[in-house]
């Protein structure tokens, strides 16, 4: 008898053998598989070299030869751009660059030893190539009988459609000087920036020389983990701290003496398992596997670091690695090409597990069939999926990753995820992945923490390797093998699953040794270019953007940075970090700040400044709220605005309340002005488009603290861990009007493309009238935030002459408004000859601006089609 999880078979029988377990492994209910097993002692172990590394905190290949060092320092001045309508000159901080500290000078001296480092591993690639080119006959009976070592070729077939074929070339580093032309104030910190770019170039050269280039280096998944070939399976793992290692699993009855691995001089353990006599693979698809190691911390069984799938069996706490290699006929084959990247991104942020209307964990299949069509209908052109990488703790929202190459098994199998992505592509949607390379779970049983029994394996040792606020481990971006692991991880998701790009989480934490904690960034350049900058991490970000944009030119990279790091979204060849977009995180914080104030205390200039305060030529993704604001302990915008009235007064057959009327009006205005002025892209977290009530609370039990206190849970309830899409669809509820307005916003942007227009001008920010007027593209946006005053014949400036017409009106009855504006009216502009300039605009026209209303006007000659309801 067997039971199944996500298509994986598990035995339900008593164990036939006992194995000693340390406290690292916990207990298993079953220790063997009912699938056929082989005589594990008849297999031969074959060792081969892998790439170099050590557990040193700096980038190393041999333990004593460092080629990447942290640090440099400098200072500078504020150069963040101000409002679009009135940029101000910011005075330069007169203080110049500090002298480079002694540590940096010493590190620069060490860099001269690079040739020695290169010599130490000069022949690595050649040796590896020779070993992996060994004929399969070397693994036959004769070689085993003679005790010869052999290595099997790594065979991987990648099918690419004809229209997808492109050269796999990552451009070499450029001069790195473009940032100084874009922002001359960066010249004040040229020593730090040139040092940073020099580190990047040295690393690129070292990778080229010793790994065959970044393209080869980023295919670590073809060397590490489980590699299937025609003759068997090779398993490699980098664990330099381990004293011994063995591969265990269902296939060998979890016998740690059956398949002992061999270590090379770089700390890489390896074993080759030949095919069975009948040609079948030595490890059946779906088998549980782990690596058994004797480490400085004791005996432990770990899930392989490069595992492609892991599952938590019923009634068990630890996860198990799964050897996932379905037969060809069961593998999902992509049918649809990836869409071309749109000019402007309208992103729907989603979490598959909590995307059901029912209190349960949703599946990839249900998300594919139910949620993707909804996203398409709403008018978004991209979906950003959270919590893809496997994470043992569901309530971490996917940010405490345990298995970096494995999709979360809670929602289905890897092939289920591929089917979801393919369906999105069929609908014309980009699929972005919320990828976590800023930290990792501190879970020792399931994750990378103490993987080889040492504190400094994948992470920095000591306090530098621990994030005290997130309770997680921090990567050592100066380690050669950590770079291979993370670069390969990014490429894996783009290559294998055909994701269209990434949103990199927690980038601010990566770029600074203080991780942005208890630091108020003011924009002064000394905050960005000094000893607090983690140069290793910044160089890693430059490398990963090289991989993304070099190998996948259509892919999108978005960085979550709250600090405002200059040159964050400038190409690497120009000296930048290489992201395409920065998440404009200050906007959401500003709205929460304003919602805590009275309406009369809102300052129009403050709103405009926050929305437009971004760096020139560096694109931003704006959002009024994301998943952060929806978590328990915080409130969504709708809940801030309407609070408990959302429970009783959202039905159209019942009278509204002033709180609900205000909330619905401001909810629409906040979202529209954020999209209109906040950036070159827009993001919305699922459900917030219709003002989803309440908060997100993942299922959790009571938590007992060491001091005896108890933090109460929610009885492991999923009630607040779902999305009530039925509320937005119910035409008898006021939620429906807010949802229709959000859909109309997306339609307007799709029609006019205003987010990426080069023409943008704020002509009015009237503190008395509480009115904001701005142009973006050929549209004129008029916002009246006043709580009681409506204005007839209100004059607004414009640039182009002609007839204007309403294309979006937040007061429309279909959007839950009061229908105070006549949509059949036409608005003709006055020329400067007729009535002079107005608000520094050559032309103007008169409008009616009701209180708490936003209206968008378009030139009739440019109007493709007004919004249809």
What is residue 505's DSSP assignment?
T
What is the spatial distance between Cα 547 and Cα 542, in angstroms, rounded to a whole number?
Answer: 9
Query: Hey, what's the torsion of the CAs at 592, 593, 596, 598, to 10 degrees?
Result: -120
Q: In DSSP terms, which residues pair with 434 in a beta bridge?
A: 503
Per-residue pLDDT reduced to its tens digit, 276-318: 999 999 999 999 999 999 999 999 999 999 999 999 988 888 9
What is the pLDDT, as a whole number, of residue 302? 97
Q: Is pLDDT of 461 > 90?
A: yes
DSSP assignment of 608-677: HHHHH---TT-EEEE-S--HHHHBTTS--HHHHHHTTHHHHS-BTTS---HHHHHHHHHHHHHHHHHHHH
Q: How confident is the model at residue 832 (pLDDT cuts 50, 70, 90)?
A: low
Query: Token match 């990434």: residue?
Result: 502
Q: Is pLDDT of 611 > 50?
A: yes
Count Cβ atoms within 10 A of the Cβ of residue 864 and give its class: 0-12 exposed, 13-18 middle, 19 or more buried. Answer: exposed
254: helix, coil or strand? coil
Q: Is pLDDT of 57 > 80?
A: no
Query: Hey, what's the torsion of the CAs at 469, 473, 474, 477, to 10 degrees?
Result: -170
What is the pLDDT, as a whole number, of residue 532? 95
User: Which of 129-133, 235-239, 828-832 has the highest average model confidence (pLDDT)?
Assistant: 235-239
Query: Residue 702 phi/psi, 5° resolution?
Result: -65, 145
Q: Is pLDDT of 131 > 60?
A: no
427: left (phi over 0), alpha (psi -120 to 50) or beta: alpha
Q: How confident is the model at residue 165 (pLDDT cuts 50, 70, 90)?
A: low
What is the spatial distance between Cα 550 and Cα 868, in angstroms, rounded to a whole number?
Answer: 41
Average pLDDT over residues 87-108: 36
Q: Is pLDDT of 140 > 50?
A: no
In 317-439, at which residue ranges do the beta strands (DSSP E only) sit?
320-322, 345-351, 382-386, 389-390, 403-407, 430-435
Average pLDDT over residues 638-661: 94
Number of C-alpha atoms within 13 angstroms, CB side, residue 386?
22
User: Which of 17-26, 65-74, 107-116, 840-849 has the highest average model confidence (pLDDT)?
Assistant: 840-849
Better-predicted residue by pLDDT, 832 or 516: 516
What is the pLDDT, as a whole number, of residue 166? 56
Averaged pLDDT score across all residues of the chain:
83
Average pLDDT over residues 733-739: 97
Average pLDDT over residues 714-724: 88
What is the pLDDT, as a whole number, of residue 46? 32
Q: Is pLDDT of 123 > 70?
A: no
Better-predicted residue by pLDDT, 265 or 5: 265
Residue 93 catalytic? Answer: no
In 334-470, at which residue ranges do the beta strands (DSSP E only) sit?
345-351, 382-386, 389-390, 403-407, 430-435, 440-441, 466-467
What is the pLDDT, as a whole number, of residue 718? 87
What is the pLDDT, as a whole number, of residue 831? 74
In the set 560, 574, 680, 812, the catalytic residue is 560
Q: How confident is the model at residue 104 (pLDDT cuts 50, 70, 90)?
A: very low
What is the pLDDT, as a whole number, of residue 713? 85
What is the pLDDT, as a whole number, of residue 697? 85
CA distances from 820 to 177, 400, 412 (A): 55, 50, 50
CA distances from 121 to 206, 209, 240 (A): 11, 10, 17
What is the pLDDT, as a whole number, of residue 156? 38
Q: Is pLDDT of 138 > 90?
A: no
Average pLDDT over residues 837-863: 91
Contact status, residue 68 vs residue 536, Cβ threshold 8 Å: yes
Q: Can you give the C-alpha Rg of the chain in angstroms? A: 29
Q: The dihedral of CA 158, 160, 164, 167: what is its sign?
A: positive
What is the pLDDT, as a whole number, of residue 316? 87
Candidate from 1-10, 690-699, 820-829 with smallest mean pLDDT: 1-10
In the set 215, 237, 505, 809, the catalytic residue is 505
Angle, alpha carbons 681-684-688 (nearest 5°): 155
What is the spatial distance between Cα 393 and Cα 395, in angstroms, rounded to a whole number?
Answer: 6
Q: Residue 132 belongs to what H/E stretch? A: helix 124-132
Q: Is pLDDT of 7 > 50?
A: no
Q: The dihedral of CA 617, 619, 623, 627: what is its sign?
A: negative
Average pLDDT over residues 552-575: 97
Q: How confident is the model at residue 834 (pLDDT cuts 50, 70, 90)?
A: low
736 closest CA partner among 794, 678, 798, 650: 650
What is the pLDDT, as a whole number, of residue 695? 82
Q: How many CB atoms lie within 10 A of CB 514?
A: 12
Better-predicted residue by pLDDT, 42 or 335: 335
What is the pLDDT, as a whole number, of residue 45? 31
Distance of CA 554 to the CA centre of its chain: 17
Q: Is pLDDT of 69 > 50?
A: no
Candidate from 181-195, 543-557, 686-700 with smallest mean pLDDT: 686-700
Q: How confident is the model at residue 822 (pLDDT cuts 50, 70, 90)?
A: very high
Better-predicted residue by pLDDT, 766 or 837: 766
Q: Which residues contact 718 (CB under 8 A, 6 or more apart)?
A: 359, 360, 361, 699
Q: How confident is the model at residue 465 (pLDDT cuts 50, 70, 90)?
A: very high
554 closest CA partner among 164, 94, 22, 2: 164
Contact status, residue 63 vs residue 56, Cβ threshold 8 Å: yes
Q: How many CB atoms lie within 10 A of CB 164?
A: 12
Per-residue pLDDT reduced to its tens digit, 755-801: 999 999 999 999 999 999 999 999 999 999 999 999 999 999 999 99
**Percent above pLDDT 90 for the chain:** 72
What is the pLDDT, as a whole number, of residue 89? 33
What is the pLDDT, as a whole number, of residue 862? 52
Q: What is the 3-state secondary structure (H, E, C) of 750-802?
A: HHHCHHHCCCEEEEEEECCCCEEEEEECCEEEEEECCCCCCEEEEEEEECCCC
Query: Token match 């599952």: residue?
Result: 311
Residue 505 catalytic? Answer: yes
Q: Which residues contact 337 (CB under 8 A, 6 or more apart)?
A: 161, 163, 164, 425
Q: Is pLDDT of 468 > 60?
A: yes
């Amino acid at each position: 008898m067997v039971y199944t999880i996500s298509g994986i078979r598990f035995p339900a029988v008593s164990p036939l053998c006992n194995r000693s377990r340390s406290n690292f492994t916990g207990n298993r209910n079953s220790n063997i598989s009912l699938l056929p097993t082989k005589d594990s002692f008849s297999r031969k172990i074959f060792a081969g070299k892998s790439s170099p590394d050590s557990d040193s905190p700096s980038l190393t290949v041999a333990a004593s030869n460092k080629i990447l060092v942290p640090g440099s320092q400098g200072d500078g001045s504020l150069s963040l751009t101000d409002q679009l309508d009135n940029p101000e000159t910011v005075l330069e901080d007169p203080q110049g660059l500090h002298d480079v500290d002694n540590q940096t000078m010493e590190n620069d001296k060490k860099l001269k030893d690079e040739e020695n480092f290169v010599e130490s591993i000069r022949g690595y690639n050649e040796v590896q190539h020779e070993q992996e080119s060994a004929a399969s006959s070397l693994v036959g009976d004769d070689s085993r009988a003679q005790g010869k070592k052999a290595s099997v070729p790594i065979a991987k077939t990648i099918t690419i459609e004809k229209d997808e074929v492109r050269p796999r070339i990552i451009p070499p580093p450029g001069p790195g000087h473009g940032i100084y032309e874009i922002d001359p104030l960066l010249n004040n910190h040229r020593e730090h920036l040139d040092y940073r770019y020099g580190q990047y170039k040295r690393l690129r050269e070292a990778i080229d020389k010793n790994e065959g280039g970044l393209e080869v280096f980023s295919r670590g998944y073809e060397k590490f983990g489980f590699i299937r070939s025609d003759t068997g399976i090779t398993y490699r793992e980098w664990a330099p701290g381990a004293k011994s290692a063995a591969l265990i699993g269902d296939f060998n009855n979890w016998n740690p003496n059956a398949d002992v691995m061999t270590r090379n001089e770089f700390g890489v353990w390896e074993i080759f398992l030949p095919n069975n006599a009948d040609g079948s693979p030595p490890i059946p698809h779906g088998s549980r596997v782990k690596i058994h190691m004797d480490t400085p911390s004791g005996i432990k069984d770990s899930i392989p670091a490069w595992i492609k799938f892991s599952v938590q069996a019923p009634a068990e706490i630890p996860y198990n690695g799964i050897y996932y290699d379905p037969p060809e006929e069961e593998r999902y084959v992509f049918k649809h090409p990836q869409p071309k990247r749109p000019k402007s991104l309208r992103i729907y942020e989603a979490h598959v597990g909590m995307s059901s209307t029912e209190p349960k964990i949703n599946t990839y299949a249900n998300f594919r069939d139910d949620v993707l069509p909804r996203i398409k209908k709403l008018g978004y052109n991209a979906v950003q999926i959270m919590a893809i990488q496997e994470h043992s703790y569901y309530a971490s929202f996917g940010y405490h990753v345990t298995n970096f190459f494995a999709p979360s098994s809670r929602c289905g199998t890897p092939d289920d995820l591929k089917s979801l992505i393919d369906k999105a592509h069929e609908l014309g949607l980009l699929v972005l992945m919320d990828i976590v390379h800023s930290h990792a779970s501190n879970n020792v049983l399931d994750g990378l923490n103490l993987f080889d029994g040492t504190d400094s394996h994948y992470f920095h040792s000591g306090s530098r390797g621990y994030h005290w606020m997130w309770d997680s481990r921090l990567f050592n971006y100066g380690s050669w093998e950590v770079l291979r692991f993370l670069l390969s991880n990014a490429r894996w998701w783009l290559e294998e699953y055909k994701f269209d790009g990434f949103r990199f989480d927690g980038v601010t934490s990566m770029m600074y040794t203080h991780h942005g904690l208890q630091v108020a960034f003011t924009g002064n350049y000394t905050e960005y270019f000094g000893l607090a900058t983690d140069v290793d991490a910044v160089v890693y970000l430059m490398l990963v953007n090289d991989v993304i944009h070099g190998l996948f030119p259509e892919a999108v990279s978005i960085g979550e940075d709250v600090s405002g790091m200059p040159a964050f979204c400038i190409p690497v060849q120009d000296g930048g970090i290489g992201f395409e977009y920065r998440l404009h995180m200050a906007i959401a914080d500003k709205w929460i700040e304003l919602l805590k104030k009275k309406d009369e205390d809102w300052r129009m200039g403050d709103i405009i400044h926050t929305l437009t305060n971004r760096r020139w030529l560096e694109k931003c993704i704006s959002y009024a709220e994301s998943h952060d604001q929806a978590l328990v302990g915080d409130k969504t915008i709708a809940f801030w605005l309407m609070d408990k009235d959302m429970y009783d007064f959202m039905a159209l057959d019942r009278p509204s309340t002033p709180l609900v009327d205000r909330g619905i009006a401001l909810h629409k205005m906040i979202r529209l002005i954020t999209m209109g002025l906040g950036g070159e892209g827009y993001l919305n977290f699922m459900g917030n488009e219709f003002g989803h009530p309440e908060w997100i609370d993942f299922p959790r039990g009571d938590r007992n603290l060491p001091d005896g206190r108890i933090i109460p849970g929610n009885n492991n309830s999923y009630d607040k861990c779902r999305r009530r899409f039925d509320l937005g669809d119910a035409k008898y509820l006021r939620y429906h009007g807010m949802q229709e307005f959000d859909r109309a916003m997306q339609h307007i942007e799709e029609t006019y493309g205003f987010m990426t227009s080069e023409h943008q001008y704020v002509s009015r920010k009237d503190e008395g009238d509480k009115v904001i007027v701005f142009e973006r593209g050929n549209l004129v946006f008029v916002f009246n935030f006043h709580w009681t005053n409506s204005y007839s014949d209100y004059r607004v400036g414009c640039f182009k002459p002609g007839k204007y017409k309403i294309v979006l009106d937040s007061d429309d009855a279909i959007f839950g408004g009061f229908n105070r504006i006549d949509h059949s009216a036409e608005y003709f502009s006055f020329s400067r000859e007729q009535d002079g300039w107005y608000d520094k605009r050559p032309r103007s026209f008169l409008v009616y601006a009701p209180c708490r209303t936003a209206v968008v006007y378009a030139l009739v000659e440019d109007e493709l089609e007004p919004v249809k309801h």
